[in-house]
Amino acid sequence: MHERVLLIEDEPHIVEALSFLLTREGLSVSTHADGSNAAETAARLTPDLVILDVMLPGKSGFDILNEIRGTEGMADTPVLMLTAKGQSRDRAAAQAAGASMFMTKPFSNREIVANIKALLE
């Protein structure tokens, strides 16, 4: 695997852990922590997969997802949304906004790696 992943997450521990896990799986990982310009970063990097936190400083993950989906060439880019809240309304909002998959924090390393691999296939 040489796919490029953009991790949009503001929690340093999660960024560090996911970057380590995904790099170990052979993925190229870029990170971004500010919601206000995350969609622009995604458009510039054109990743093969976006991992997107719901709650970010500057802008919500749902708003960012809408912007990504409206960006030329990114409408079909897989987006895995992460949230600390597993509420059904968040899942419904993620699905309505075009998320490819939704996971609740905390998650197991094995589960997130398996889901990322599935989204990249």
Per-residue confidence at 86, pLDDT binned at 50, 70, 90? low
92 CB-near residues (< 8 Å, 6+ apart): none
Is 50's pLDDT higher than 60? Answer: yes
Mean pLDDT, residues 48-77? 95
Mean pLDDT, residues 11-33? 97
Report CA torsion sign: 15, 78, 44, 66.
negative
Domain ranges (residues) in the chain? 4-120
Which two tokens mark 3? 């796919």
Mean pLDDT, residues 25-51? 97
Fold entry, domain 4-120: Rossmann fold (3.40.50)
Spatial separation of the C-alpha atoms in residues 62 and 66, rounded to whole Å? 6
pLDDT at 97: 85
Spatial separation of the C-alpha atoms in residues 87 and 120, rounded to whole Å? 26
Unique residue bearing structure tokens 């990743």: 47
